[in-house]
Structure 1
Amino acid sequence: MKIVAVLFPGSRADDGRSQELATAENVLGLRPFLEDQGHELVGTSDTGAELDAELSDAEVLITTPFWPLYLDEKRIEKAKKLKLVVTAGVGSDHIDEDTAERHGISVAEVTGSNVVSVAEHNVMQILALVRNMIPAYQQAVQGRWDVAEAVRDAHDLENKTVGLVGLGAIGARTALRLKGFDVRMLYYANHRRSPAEEATLGVKYARLDDLVAESDVICLALPLMEGSKALFGRDRLAAMKPGSWLVNTARGAIVDTDALVEALNSGHLAGYAGDTWYPQPAPADHPWRTMPRHAMTIHCSGMTVEAQERIAAGVKELLSAHLAGEPLPADYVLVDASSH
């Protein structure tokens, strides 16, 4: 059996080897496990013609939201032997799931593998914006010492209103971590939590328009799906409180690219942070790289060392089931085409 894994290129240690687990070279540590059973494992960072050639006779594809392979109908049509697609992480919006199902391809992801890592990143970026950390850091690097400039836009997070759009696994963990900052937390989600859960998380339900109007900080923690693309477009960004902050580690396409730049250039928003872009990897001339008052990172929030270990274990579990002809772990399955 041939398995193809599309993962990001690794950094290099002194011996020239890639150190990170989830790289095209190290392939989540899966090589001994698969090759000892006689299977072929191909690791690559290519997402073009080279990859298409490898996929033509592959049965399993491993991909990741952090270095995404956009698996559309055209690409699926060429992968005649493909039976399983595994997202090494959480979030499979780069895969055309409907087309995969029609072609008898199951789709799975390692649910829960990086929710802690992303929730921590959310809190970090909220604090970076509210406390105006990036300009202060840049002064340190530049050899400057203008305290007045650094603190002019620095605020306490305490007593602010934080709005969480989405309260799934990541949103809930973000809420728990923010609870200790003594903030007022509102949330909007398609499925409202029980009163007991709301009390535990320290959140209060609000309609989206009310949340947007009342929040000092908005944190997006919802998947990219029908209805959420450009959810924060020009009108909704304009409806945010003047001087408020927006954090988005969910998906870049949930925010309108050009409208966000305009909102920051005009000063309506005090700052934007996140680590998801569209497309990914973001080109060098992406306007979010140069817009003012941002604290962007590349899409790395869910790839801590610990998250990579959890992802690797989950992918191995999925592959073990597939190779043995057993059902995939139900909580990992997005599309079950095993009966096709």
Structure 2
Amino acid sequence: MAKILCVLYDDPTDGQPTTYARDDLPVIDHYPGGQTTPTPQGTDFTPGHLLGSVSGELGLRSFLESRGHTLVVTSDKEGAGSVFDRELVDADIVISQPFWPAYLTAERIATAKNLKLAVTAGIGSDHVDLDAAISNGVTVAEVTYCNSISVAEHVVMTVLGLVRNFIPSHQIVLDGGWNIADAVSRSYDLEGMHVGTVAAGRIGLAVLRRLAPFDVQLHYTDRHRLPEAVEQELNLTWHESTADMVPHCDVVTINAPLHPETEGLFDDKLIGTMKRGAYLINTARAKIVDRDAVDRALRGGQLAGYGGDVWYPQPAPADHPWRTMPHHAMTPHISGSSLSAQARYAAGTREILESYFAGTPIRDEYLIVEGGALAGTGAHSYSTKEG
């Protein structure tokens, strides 16, 4: 029997909800491109309920314990003597989310002698040291595509929020004011702007499709060029590199995974080549940008706004400069954890576990590392330190 260690974010401050704003979720059985949504043999949760916090347990407890497995769920993941570190020593499987990542460093993997599987309930497995997973024979899987559209919607919301200066305008209402000139002095139309995405995979392409009706000029860069038919459909301009693309754009959105080729990409030098007054949106991973370079660019006026959802580390400390820098639209990594997305990534996590326990292949699109090498989606999207 296996021990499963599941690291989830804390419950709401008032406890698990007793009621919800809506009674149901739209039924979605496939994603753009045809991939089906998760297809576990069963589920033990109500779609639309809060599953990603500690008490939600991703709806896994009944499934696992009825089969004799042990499930340990905690939010305590950092610091000397954390529950995560104590329980990891003899864990067979670790599950965590990108929003509250259990950082599986090489050092932690070395202490986890029984560890065979690391599952990301969501998308993005950079919180796992993939080189160490490869070296130690640990399989890494994630629920690919489960919250890609959720994140794409958040990107579009953030773009509009920054360009139209929505957040300060809303604050004026909360403060009891009616200061129209203050609200509109940084408000522009998105129409006619040049918008570019760094990476045009599932999320990046979904962003492009959702922005096209705003009559913007669309740009993208990706190491895998899109089919010509898609470029023509959306009137896309392709650039060989991020450095080639960003000087042309009024808005740049980062939708790439974090790996050695993207870490620290947006530094002072690259941001300095962007149009003065451009907007930068990052719902990918915080370490793709230089934290302090972003702060300097906002304070100095090189960037008109920075919006995002990802921090490093997570949770971010109270004194993180992104909390107080001007003209930002930051959220605490919620873009991919809507209640709609939670139903899919909880179901996908169960599907992965069902396959693992049955000894049947895990879906290729869910695989990041298997058999001592990058595999499936991982082979397409990631690189390792060794290349």
Q: Aligned residue for 2:342?
A: 308
The within-5 A match list for 1:171-190 is 171-190=204-223
How high is the sequence identity, in percent, across the aligned residues?
Answer: 48
Q: Which residue type is aligned with residue 122 of structure 1?
A: V
- Give the counterpart of 2:331 among 293, 297, 302: 297
- Give the counterpart of 2:285 among 251, 259, 267: 251
CA displacement at 1:133 relative to structure 2: 0.6
Alignment TM-score, normalising by the size of structure 2:
0.85
Aligned-residue CA RMSD (Å): 1.7
CA displacement at 1:131 relative to structure 2: 0.2
Which consecutive residues of structure 1, in runs of 5 or more, have no partner in the other structure? none
Matched, 1:36 2:66: yes
Instruction: Pick which of 166-175 and 210-219 moved more.
Output: 210-219
Q: Aligned residue for 2:172?
A: 139
Q: Which residue type is aligned with residue 164 of structure 2?
A: R
Q: Aligned residue for 1:318?
A: 352
Instruction: Pick which of 101-110 and 45-54 moved more.
Output: 45-54
SS at match of 1:279: coil
Q: Aligned residue for 1:333?
A: 367
- Give the counterpart of 1:53 among 86, 90, 96: 86
Contact kept in structure 2, 1:11 and 1:20, CA below 8 Å: no
Contact kept in structure 1, 2:251 and 2:278, CA below 8 Å: yes
Write the deviation string for residues 207-237 of structure 1: whole angstroms up to 9, x where unpaired.
4333211111111111111121111100111
Q: Aligned residue for 1:271?
A: 305
Contact kept in structure 1, 2:133 and 2:372, CA below 8 Å: no
Q: 1:15 to 1:284 in 2, by over 3 A?
A: closer
Instruction: Pick which of 141-150 and 110-119 moved more.
Output: 141-150
The within-5 A match list for 1:1-340 is 1-11=2-12, 20-48=50-78, 49=81, 50-207=83-240, 208-337=242-371
CA displacement at 1:306 relative to structure 2: 1.0
Q: Which residue type is aligned with residue 369 of structure 2?
A: V
Write the deviation string for residues 24-63 of structure 1: whole angstroms up to 9, x where unpaired.
2221101111111111111100114221221111111101
CA distance in structure 2 between the partners assigned to 1:321 and 1:132 by the alignment: 47
Contact kept in structure 1, 2:298 and 2:326, CA below 8 Å: yes
Q: Which residue type is aligned with residue 242 of structure 1?
A: R
Write the deviation string for residues 82-125 of structure 1: whole angstroms up to 9, x where unpaired.
11110110001110112112212111000001000000000000
SS at match of 1:299: coil
CA displacement at 1:154 relative to structure 2: 0.6
Which consecutive residues of structure 2, in runs of 5 or more, have no partner in the other structure? 20-48, 374-387
Q: Flag as ranges the 4+ runs of structure 1 deviating above 3 A.
A: 12-19
CA distance in structure 2 between the partners assigned to 1:166 and 1:193 by the alignment: 10
CA displacement at 1:17 relative to structure 2: 7.3
Alignment TM-score, normalising by the size of structure 1:
0.96
SS at match of 1:315: helix
CA distance in structure 2 between the partners assigned to 1:80 and 1:89 by the alignment: 25
SS at match of 1:135: helix
Write the deviation string for residues 159-206 of structure 1: whole angstroms up to 9, x where unpaired.
110011110000000001001101000111111112102123342102
SS at match of 1:85: strand
Contact kept in structure 1, 2:305 and 2:328, CA below 8 Å: yes
CA displacement at 1:13 relative to structure 2: 5.4
